[in-house]
Structure 1
């Protein structure tokens, strides 16, 4: 009897396997971190084989913990860290090089050059994305210019590429399926949203052959079956959706004008805009939210690459905390940030500024500054960046948002959640489980095999707590004006400087 849906949730810092039952409850899960490689300050890489091996290990752990066998699993759903790029040998299944992570900014100078030409506007109008280091196509170009083995393999037809979901699907199916979902394709900076195909004209300009790209398939649909030797039996893979899109779906934001914020390694604000394609004039990205049964939904998105990872930096870099949850207690331990503002641009700034040359900056430090002030300023910096993005969304859409839902690990922080509702001046709902990304992937997989119906989704999410604004408008305006001054002083810091 098919009783469960298995999800592989591939984040930027770790991999998680979760098993959902018919009532949308997580009955088992297993998690581990994987290695972050930083060969230079502008480079972040992952070992794709390590990710695959640990993903399989976490799935087996989750199954074994509750004595669940492969025959009881109706389908597998995958959600992932989006634009991260892997290039591998299609004959051996071995990667040629470590994967370039979506936070990596090694191609910043090349992107800047392109944006000074006609291709800056042309690529944006076709793909919905400003040409930036997060473009998977720019990562491929870097590989071809800097790794001779990859250039030769691509020219010989021996290499294929994909994001982490594509890589996992390839490995799980024993190399039988080379595919990506519509949601993931739309964030690779290589997909023509208007013509619904890979953007060959731009790829030709970059001298990247289109044949190395995966086939694009619906987010809820057929991605093949797992090799029976992996889990003991074949399991259909019927869900593949990018992480932010998965959270948007799971949070119930399935109609135009609804939105959510995911606070993970980075923070992402996504607003569903329905079935009509709109290219932003406000520095936002347009994405395919998902495609189900031939119907495509779109979303406007603004994101900041470093938010939750700024808290991680407090732990691993600055070493002023031992664990992320400490920041909540530290923030409440002081009456304010003592005039400190932290622009968490450790990997540049994205929407609406799109400046990869901005660097992380902390303003207002005095002899009275304590680590508690730095921790509080970090949480507030995350929120200020989200206000930057929401302002652009509201200007673009002409809609004043009144309610937003939040998910992701950092959303468990009550100080962050309350400051978010205060600065954005909206009601913020936090679900009982902040694992909305995993739930969205489960729902995609379950829909495809009839495990659930769309009507079932109405009962999938429970709100744990709602936060309402408590800050006076004059205080909100004063704080945001000071923040905006900090942003202006930070932009372009690394341009022309040695890195």
Structure 2
């Protein structure tokens, strides 16, 4: 009897698959990079066919790593980065335009026009960019289907054209007034046929079944949830006030608000966390747009460090950053600023400073950006004392200690850094009926806790100096 859970997690810079047993033990993982292309300033594209091939490969890779086969898998969960656009031909199923990544800003003028017309939109969401994608294709919209990356991967796995609320909410097309479905007025405004749009399904439960010709067996797909929501599942953080931070390509601090949508700040509007079992769950989030990508840029783009590990070592060798400050905003500043035109900043350099000060200032800049968001959330919602964290960059002990110092809170690091993949596997387990939501807290395991090592007055003074130096 198959009992294993297979998760597919397609992020912005890479895809991974993870095989997990019902006790939460990770049996096998495979991950591979995804290339982005930058045809012009503010434009970020990927090849949707290439992304699918990579995802297909990591699914096989995780099974091989665990010494298992697809016939051992009871259920599949899929999670992806949000708000990217894939456009494909209805008849052939082939992509007809580049995939527009969530961070692509070519929709800025359309976003402004939609806001002026009374529609909900943001610069990075699909409603601001789908018309541009259709124009790139040169095709009649009636002949096309579209979806965010989750929809595309489910389509390739099963032939189903679906999405869930956690992804649909951030398309700009969601019918926020009705609480489900698509905004018919916006579709009419942009002259888009409803047949282009995926059906909305619950985040976990019966969703689709894999095509045996694709994976070698018909396996139930029982979870479809956006990456940040999947990470909340990994922490068992689905109740009002539950929170977590993810340090990936971008950084996200997300907090549950319960069964009612709630906006706590103009840059942190209500979002859907998950809809399952007929029950809605909502959340708010603040984004540090440039997080892991800042480290990659300092290493690759500027060539200051041979690798992220070398940068971590350099930061750990110095006791402080001196007067060096870094604002991690190479692609704009998210919450609580909402200034997408802002760019990165390195300041306060002197001849006395070296790579260690720059490395430490970069990590501290990330920690302080998270504090800006945490201060807003903690002022509005009943959050717990400790902050659970995960994501690739959470492996940096230096960053985690700087984060605990900045927040003046304990920081608890998940034992599975790839929390989105782990959460997708657990959501698939819930969707398949292998265990319930009440099991999630027991399945969330932590391997380190970082407690503040500086006094609050010192932390507050350092934060104030940083904010003054990087003010936009």
TM-score for the superposition, normalised by structure 1: 0.90
Give 1:366 shift. Answer: 2.1
Residue pair 1:281, 1:396 contacting (<8 A) in 2 also: no
Q: 1:136 aligned to 2:126?
A: yes
Give the secondary-structure state (helix, strand or coil) at the position aligned to 2:448.
strand
The CA RMSD measured in Å over matched residues stands at: 1.8
Q: 1:100 aligned to 2:84?
A: no
Give the secondary-structure state (helix, strand or coil) at the position aligned to 1:450.
coil
Residue pair 1:19, 1:26 contacting (<8 A) in 2 also: yes
Structure 2 Cα separation of the partners of residues 482 and 356 of structure 1: 23
The corresponding residue for 1:147 is 136
Q: Return the match for 1:446 from 429, 440, 452.
A: 429
Q: Return the match for 1:359 from 343, 355, 368.
A: 343
Structure 2 Cα separation of the partners of residues 224 and 357 of structure 1: 41
Change (3 A) 1:208 1:386: farther
The corresponding residue for 2:379 is 395
Give 1:470 shift. Answer: 2.0
Give 1:113 shift. Answer: 5.2
Residue pair 1:104, 1:347 contacting (<8 A) in 2 also: no
The corresponding residue for 2:53 is 53
Change (3 A) 1:486 1:39: farther
Change (3 A) 1:109 1:244: same
The corresponding residue for 1:160 is 145
Q: 1:297 aligned to 2:281?
A: yes
Give the secondary-structure state (helix, strand or coil) at the position aligned to 2:231.
helix
| 1:268-417 equivalent positions in 2, closer than 5 A | 268-397=252-381, 399=382, 401-417=384-400
Give the secondary-structure state (helix, strand or coil) at the position aligned to 1:29.
strand
Q: Alpha-carbon deviations, 1:127-147, whole Å to 9, x = none?
A: xxxx33221111202224x42
Give the secondary-structure state (helix, strand or coil) at the position aligned to 1:142.
helix
Give the secondary-structure state (helix, strand or coil) at the position aligned to 1:254.
coil
Q: Alpha-carbon deviations, 1:314-345, whole Å to 9, x = none?
A: 12101122222333221121121121111111
| 1:420-435 equivalent positions in 2, closer than 5 A | 420-435=403-418
Q: Return the match for 2:206 from 214, 219, 222.
A: 222
Structure 1 Cα separation of the partners of residues 182 and 114 of structure 2: 19
Structure 2 Cα separation of the partners of residues 200 and 485 of structure 1: 46
Q: 1:171 aligned to 2:156?
A: yes
Give 1:411 shift. Answer: 0.6
Residue pair 2:321, 2:357 contacting (<8 A) in 1 also: yes
Change (3 A) 1:231 1:202: closer
Q: Alpha-carbon deviations, 1:21-63, whole Å to 9, x = none?
A: 1211111111110211111231111111111111111111222
Structure 2 Cα separation of the partners of residues 41 and 199 of structure 1: 31
Change (3 A) 1:455 1:113: closer
Residue pair 1:169, 1:223 contacting (<8 A) in 2 also: no
Give the secondary-structure state (helix, strand or coil) at the position aligned to 1:134.
coil
Gaps (5+ residues) in structure 1? Answer: 124-130, 490-499
Q: Return the match for 2:229 from 235, 245, 256.
A: 245
Structure 2 Cα separation of the partners of residues 258 and 88 of structure 1: 38
Residue pair 1:383, 1:416 contacting (<8 A) in 2 also: yes
Structure 2 Cα separation of the partners of residues 368 and 77 of structure 1: 51
Q: 1:418 aligned to 2:401?
A: yes
Structure 2 Cα separation of the partners of residues 204 and 481 of structure 1: 48
Q: Return the match for 2:166 from 183, 193, 200.
A: 183
Aligned length in residues: 471
Structure 2 Cα separation of the partners of residues 43 and 159 of structure 1: 22
Residue pair 2:416, 2:422 contacting (<8 A) in 1 also: no
Give 1:350 shift. Answer: 1.3
Q: 1:461 aligned to 2:444?
A: yes
Structure 2 Cα separation of the partners of residues 480 and 111 of structure 1: 33
